[in-house]
Structure formats: structure tokens, C-alpha cells
Amino acid sequence: MIEIEVEAEAWTGALPQTEVIVESAARAALGTVQGDIVVLLTDDDAVRDLNARFCDKDRPTNVLSFPAPESAAPHLGDIVLAYGVCAAEAEAQGKTLADHLSHLVVHGVLHLLGRDHEDDAEADEMEAEEREILAQLGVADPYAADAENAD
């Protein structure tokens, strides 16, 4: 089950199909994995508070993932997205908010499934998995601009 909570109306104001996008991206990232997740769509202040309390970073960020302990099964964890940060990133990167949201939901779900990007090898694997899932959703490679700028 994928539970979607829209706390900041800016999400649905800017993107009326927000919940459909989140559900589709989360299902694609979960693949055949069984489990429940909660996706909270909120504002920068709420994410800043969570980031400060749980990650010792007193600033908003685009997405936070909170994996559930194994004892909470079938709950896999929670994902929280900040509207302002996500919208600003999408604009700065020349992406639609829908595509950026899909990417960040996939990224968050992969964290709940144990993927990480702490070192270059892990990052490369996770990015490849994200690209594959997003391609299934018809979303362009979110890392294409990064690769072009590295050349």
C-alpha cells in the first residue's frame, strides 16, 4: 500500500495530478517488493525541521527517506518531499516538476529498499537503477545534464 499525504497544497496547486505521479513512481520503484510506504508532500519548513531533528542539518532539502525497522514490517518507511526546494530545483535544472517529483520519489523508495550513494560505486549503481525505472515511466534521464557538464 502506498499512502500519500498532501500537507502543502502548493503541490496540488502546481501539479493537480501530484498523487497519480507519486503513486506511479513509487509502484515502479517498488517493483515486486511487497510492503507499505507513506509519502508526505509538505513544505520547506516542515522538511527543514525533520532534517534538523533527524539528520543534524538545519536546512530544507528536496527529499528525506526514513526506512522503517524490520520489526515494523510490512511498513518499509516514509518519504518526505519539500515543495519549495523541489520546484526550485526543477526550474533550475530545466525539468518539469512532474518529472522531478517522479525522480525524487523513485530515489526515496530506493533508499527505503536499502540502496545508497555513499561512495562512487554505490552512486553509479543507484543512478543506473533510477534511470531504468524512470525510463519505464517515460521520464528522461535526470542525470543527463550532469554527464554533459562533466565532459
The confidence score (pLDDT) of residue 143 equals: 86
pLDDT tops 50 at residue 133: yes
| Angle value at C-alpha 35, between 32 and 72, nearest 5 degrees | 150
149 pLDDT above the threshold of 60: no
The domain locations on the chain are 2-141
> What are the start-end ranges of the H helices in the chain?
10-14, 18-30, 44-55, 83-92, 97-112, 120-136, 144-150
* DSSP 8-state secondary structure symbol assigned to residue 69: P
Class of domain 2-141: alpha beta
* Contacting residues for 51 by C-beta, under 8 A, at least 6 apart: 57, 58, 59, 60, 61, 64
pLDDT in tens, 23-74: 999 999 999 899 999 999 999 999 999 999 999 999 999 999 999 999 999 9
CB neighbour list of residue 26: distance below 8 Å, 6 or more residues apart = 2, 37, 39, 105, 106, 109
Using a pLDDT cut of 70, give the percent of the chain over it. Answer: 95
For position 122, what pLDDT does the model report? 85
Q: Give the three-class secondary structure for 89.
A: helix
Quote the pLDDT of residue 116: 82
Distances (CA, A) of 83 to 38, 112, 132: 16, 20, 25
Mean pLDDT for the chain overall: 92
Structure confidence at residue 82 (pLDDT): 97
The conformation of residue 142, written as its DSSP 8-state character, comes to T
